[in-house]
Structure 1
Amino acid sequence: MSLGIVLLSATLNLNSHLPPLQPWQGASLSLMQQDGPLTTDFELSAGEESPNYEQTNAFIMRLVAANPTQFKSITIGKSGQGRDINMMLAVEDSQFSPAMMTNNKKPTILIQAGIHAGEIDGKDAMFMLLRDIATGKRRDILSKVNILFIPILNVDGHERNSQFNRINQRGPVTMGFRTNAKNLNLNRDYTKLDTPGVRAVMEVINDFKPSLYVDVHVTDGADYQYDITYGFNPSFASDSPAIAKVLEEQFSPIIDDKLSQQGHIPGPLIFVMNKRNLKQGLAGWVASPRFSNGWGDIKGLPTILVENHSLKPYKQRVLGTYVFIDGVIDALSKQHKALHKAIETEKHNYPTELIVERSYSQSPAYISFKGIKYKQFDSALSGHQEVKYLGEPVEYEKLPVFWQKEVKAKVKVPNAFYIPPQYSKLVQKLSLHGVEVEVVSNAMEESSGLTQLKVSSYEFAKQPFEGRFRVNAQFEELQLSESPVTEGWYKVSTQQPYSELVTHLLHPVAPDSFFAWGDFLEIFQRTEYVENYALEPYARKMLKESPKLALAFDKRISEDSVFAKSDEQRLEWLYEKTPYYDQAYLKYPILMSYQSK
């Protein structure tokens, strides 16, 4: 029995719990080779397997050896467990340095696979494409673009491999794990930057300045006919609408046409409102900056999120990814001037207000949708009505889509933020984000019109999320009569290319700000206390000298019975009014200026 037959048998057994498949014989099957130079591990397994970390690196070296004038491999970082995170560079004429790639008049595309290591389609698709470049079959590609390719971003998760990592995914037979060795999800890390993988990506973007960023994933969720779905924040809910319009109007038609010609069914980025009843509609997700595509949208870096359909066979998904990337490269080579113009437009957009959080609209739009027939049944196991997909195509002429476009939180954008020197680690993160930070050298110039936010109420998350205890807070504004800014503070202007990103990171109301991720937990603790024997006589004297304060105290007692009966609350109220109370307690230490300097 051949290896391919053994693997196929194992796959069938592993997938016996999944819905029935539709037959597929796309033209892209011709892209595979069974032998010959640089045949990939994926091809040798008849499209069932993906190579492990060691085999992946060995194939990278084979590619470089076969085409050293156009291919190079570099290490961009190390994982938590000490593995190299490697990236391939593919250029036409040995122009491998960032400066040379930036100046060779070709757009650069950054393609990333394995941020979720079980969703590894992009690695095997790109190995085939690079092989075709190396062997001369697709020498046209490097005449169009420069390529940066990260085969496995989450290398530690990739080596936590098993046949049982994703219950709703057809292949590869052995696949990696979603999170890294510290159980952190790299695609929730684009603002807080806790993982070495995402920090490495930031450095690549800063150095090579790609024109387009592609992040390849595999879906969860419902069954449908589309095998390759992809998307980006739509122009009507984008922080970079000029870029989104170019992607919508000038990229998508080229990509979709290429996929359709090769026997694939391209579709929109799919999420459902109710996984037990698709007819209730689709969720039109607008990514926040914790995600690659949300971060790219806010930064003004064109970013496409690919979500291949998990229920389609691995071979079909990988071949679809090859065709997708070929289409993206074609679109980028034809439309890079329009895209560059849109990028420059967004770099010079300095909004005075910014939407930082959205909710789903109650009023849907409607689209035609290529679904899969299903039935609902009462499950004795869950005690609930569940779904069984039947494998038969069904067309929905008008399926509702509820877009996440309603404004939930909006903030006024300061002209600048001021960071005290004790928070220099945040400055390091800002630099990784590509944000310009200057050190205050003349404090007199920054001495007026500063605003500080004080937490008026707050709630910590009940359990950790991505290694953090997140916090949600409400704030009151305090206008400072005297500026605490001195030489050595840091100033972050919002009048810079990444204005929106600055505000999302530093304004504490933003749900993916440093504050919301728990980088300022120290302001929630008090470290000086009071003894009642000292407070009671001091407070009595204070009330005697201030009739207004005494009236406020009496009013609180008369109007709040709980307060009136609580000795702790009464004395705490009085302590807050003394000059001994901690004046930094609950105050957000990053200051804001709404005046142009």
Structure 2
Amino acid sequence: MLRRCDLSSLLRLPFLSLAFFLVTCISSLAQRSVNELTPYERDTNQTATYYQIISWYQQLDRQYEQAKLVEIGQTDIGKPLHLFLLAADKQFTARPNRVTLLINNGIHPGEPEGIDACMMLARDLLKTNKLPKNILLAIVPVYNVGGSLNRGVSRVNQNGPESYGFRGNARNLNLNRDFIKAESENTRAFQATFQSLKPQVFVDNHTSDGADYQHVLTYFATQKDKLQPDVSVYMTKRFQPALDKMLTARGFPPAPYVDHVGDTPESGLVGYNDTPRYSTGYATLFNCFGFTLETHMWKPYPARVKASYVFDEAVLRLCEREASTILANQKFANEAVRRQKTFPLIFSLDRTKVDSVTFLGYEAAYKPSEVSGLKRLYYDRNKPFTKRIPYFNTFSANVQVDKPRFYLIQQGWRDVINQLKRNGVTLQPLSKDTVLTVSAYHIDTFRTGQRPYEGHYIHSNVTLRTESQKLQFYKGDFLIPTDQSSNRYIVETLEPQGVDSFFAWNFFDSILDQKEYFSNYIFEDTAAELVRKDPALRKQLEEKRASDKAFAENANAQLDFIYRQTPYYEKTHNRYPVYRLN
């Protein structure tokens, strides 16, 4: 910290020392005035580099007792992941009598407005001593450290800053698709921190592209139909209207994130289906409501930074004003989820239910392309409009599941077990070897993506067969009780039909490999004898031949059909290794 130059010190010094002291004070004051400005404030076409970001927060940590910069884990680039905590009472842990607001920046470092806005917001809150007493504010200065260090101009048509980070991280992962599979060190550190903080409200700062329109700021909230109902009603009926009013008063009238059903926004906007792989979808699993802020990349960079600042500050002030209600809602929701019996797994947009929103757009038209000569879309900024447009934001659950009393997973599935533990799930190890009667899923059919997505070939459209089986389990295998506030996370990751289940993300793919087979020329005789001795099996074979021409013409398929009815066929093939126990 800087020392004050006072008159009594000056009067006691000899001339040369006095001169040196004056120069030092002037230099220190000049340095202080420079250091109180972020790189963005010194040049509004610049965004802070990784090293400038961390240095800035270290400076605030040194200067203010109400601030603390901590390392919360490693990242894939080998640099630490930081968290900046602000607390008026200098207590930097989650407490039951105050709201924890978590703000994430730079998950896509090419979208850097939140980085610069939060640097200024943190300074301003500390400098003016306006930290809310009932809020723990937690800021991730820059989440994708590898992407931040990979600086360039990768976002074509973005209107500033001069250079910025890259979307992919050090492993070329899009970290906003990693919140369930958690392959990145960044994500693992984030999950552990999230479970420690247990935030009630979450903000993820982004930048949008797409259609052109007048709004500088759009956002989407946690999908309302996925939230626990009491939290959802509060967010949509009370928090969001107040937030929109505050944003409009500050000169940034918002609109929902612009994803439209037709060629242009006037065709109608569609709510965002933020499944658990996304940051806000992950937060939803723990009764934390969130917002993904999307400023428009074609607006001037200073306007986008200002919009981010205004948005984050508005959320903070609403959390301060509504703290008691927010805390009570999450507490109620946690208890309700403990008791909840039926859980939705897959949602789809209900196009029969439509609302409307005020949208500030530009008229769209078509003209010949100078490149292809074909028709191309453009927006005419000389023709702005304000109108009500359709908004489709109701999602219905088309797959639901009843929770069991326990799930049971064998200890060999360490990756899944570690994921569960990191995300606050309580597991109970078996104290001895035991035989249990369980409900076992068998994977009948599924669809696998034909192209890699974030390093995976995701499974979907899973159909199951369920059997009651008596199986051997061993000391150290884990029971997972479903009377936990983390039930949403448990069910959505462990039920194989879930859109972001561990099965969908290939954690259990080894069960899909058959390990033992038969030799056709030898098994022919065995199969013939089985069919002779078992009239029911013969009938099944004949019926399948009659109904399936390809099967009837495939000798190996018919042998395989019989083989699967024998004791030799491995019982673990396609048997899902997470069992249900009631």
State if a TM-score over 0.5 links the two structures: yes
Deviation digits for residues 111-145 of structure 1 (CA, Å, limit 9, x no counterpart): 1100111111111111111222333x2x1224342
Structure 2: how far apart are the matches of 1:220 and 1:506?
Answer: 35
Counterpart residue type for residue 561 of structure 1: K
| SS of 2:190 mapped into structure 1 | helix
Q: Secondary structure at the match of 1:548?
A: helix
Of 586, 590, 597, 2:578 maps to 590
SS in 2 for 1:482: strand
CA contact (8 A) 1:192 1:514 kept: yes
Q: Does 1:213 align with 2:195?
A: no
Q: Which amino acid in the other structure matches residue 357 of structure 1?
A: I
Whole-Å Cα distance in 1 between the matches of residues 330 and 343 of structure 2?
Answer: 18
Q: Is 1:482 equivalent to 2:470 in the alignment?
A: yes
Distance 1:265 1:311 in 2: 17
CA distance in 1, matches of 2:124, 2:357: 37
Per the TM alignment, residue 253 of structure 1 is displaced from its structure 2 partner at its CA by 3.6
Residue 443 of structure 1, CA deviation: 6.7
> Which residue of 1 is the match for residue 38 of structure 2?
40
Q: Work out which of the residue numbers 576, 589, 592 in structure 1 matches 2:564.
A: 576
The answer on 1:55 being equivalent to 2:52 is yes
Structure 2's unaligned 5+ residue stretches are 1-31
Paired residue for 2:159? 170
- Alignment correspondent of 1:85: 81
- Corresponding position of 2:274: 287
Unaligned runs of 5+ in 1: 1-33
The 8 Å contact of residues 221 and 272 in structure 1, kept in 2 or not, is answered as no
Picking from 62, 65, 70, the partner of 1:65 is 62
Which among 300, 305, 318 is matched to residue 292 of structure 2? 305
| Count of residues paired in the alignment | 548
- Structure 1 distance, partners of 2:547, 2:41, is 77
Conserved in 2, the CA contact under 8 Å of 1:118 and 1:178?
Answer: yes
Matched, 1:185 2:167: no
1:437 to 395, 408, 427: 427
Change (3 A) 1:563 1:264: closer
Percent of aligned pairs with the same amino acid: 26
Return closer, same or farther for 1:565/1:173 CA change in 2, 3 Å cut-off: same
CA contact (8 A) 1:370 1:393 kept: no
Deviation at 1:442, TM superposition (A): 6.2
What secondary structure does 1:477 align onto? strand
* 8 Å CA contact 1:70, 1:91 repeated in 2: yes
**Greater shift in the superposed pair: 276-285 or 388-397:** 388-397
Corresponding residue for residue 550 of structure 1: 538
Match of 2:439 in 1: 451
SS in 2 for 1:377: strand
The answer as to 2:482 corresponding to 1:494 is yes
In the alignment, is the contact (CA less than 8 A) between 1:85 and 1:155 conserved in 2? Answer: yes
Q: Check 1:90–1:459 CA distance in 2 against 1; reply closer, same or farther (3 A cut).
A: same
CA contact (8 A) 2:366 2:378 kept: yes
1:189 Cα deviation from its structure 2 partner:
0.9
The structure-2 alpha-carbon separation of the partners of 1:256 and 1:239, relative to structure 1 and needing over 3 Å to count, comes to: closer
CA pair 212-528 structure 1, distance change in 2 beyond 3 A: same
Do the aligned partners of 2:222 and 2:289 also contact (CA within 8 Å) in 1?
no
Tell me, in whole angstroms, the C-alpha distance in 2 between the residues paired with 1:518 and 1:383.
45
1:415 to 1:385, Cα distance in 2 relative to 1, 3 A: farther
1:39-77 CA distance string (max 9 Å, x none)? 1100000x211111112222122222222x122211112
Distance of 1:285 and 1:343 partners within structure 2: 23
The alignment status of 1:152 with 2:148, answered yes or no, reads no
What is aligned with 2:95?
102
Match of 2:187 in 1: 198
Contact kept in structure 1, 2:223 and 2:271, CA below 8 Å: no
Measured against aligned partners, the alpha-carbon deviations of 1:233-279 in whole angstroms (never above 9, x if no partner) come to 353x12322222222233224433332333222222332223x3222
* Cα shift readout 1:456-510 (whole Å, capped 9, x = no counterpart): 1223211110111112253332322413344322122222102122111000001
CA distance in 2, matches of 1:253, 1:404: 18
1:248 corresponds to 2:236: yes
TM-score, normalised to structure 2, is: 0.89
| C-alpha distance in 2 between matches for 1:433 and 1:384 | 52
CA distance in structure 1 between the aligned counterparts of 2:417 and 2:243, rounded to whole angstroms? 39
2:17 alignment counterpart: none
1:403 aligns with 2:393: yes
1: CA distance, partners of 2:189 / 2:508: 24
Q: 1:17: which partner in 2? A: none
Q: What's the offset of the Cα at 1:382?
A: 5.3
- Paired residue secondary structure (2:258): coil
Residue 342 (structure 1) shift: 1.2
Which structure 1 residue ranges, 4+ long, deviate > 4 Å from structure 2? 34-37
Q: 1:422 aligns with which of 408, 412, 426?
A: 412
Q: Contact between 2:440 and 2:579, CA under 8 Å: does it hold in 1?
A: yes
Over alpha carbons, which structure has the higher Rg?
A: 2
How far is 1:528 from its partner?
Answer: 1.2
Q: CA offset at residue 404 of structure 1?
A: 5.2
Alignment of 1:376-395 (within 5 A): 376-379=366-369, 381=371, 385-392=375-382, 394-395=384-385
Aligned to 1:232: 221
Residue in structure 1 matched with residue 342 of structure 2 by the alignment: 353
Counterparts of 1:363-382 in structure 2, within 5 Å, are: 363=352, 364-379=354-369, 381=371
The TM-score normalised by the length of structure 1 is 0.87
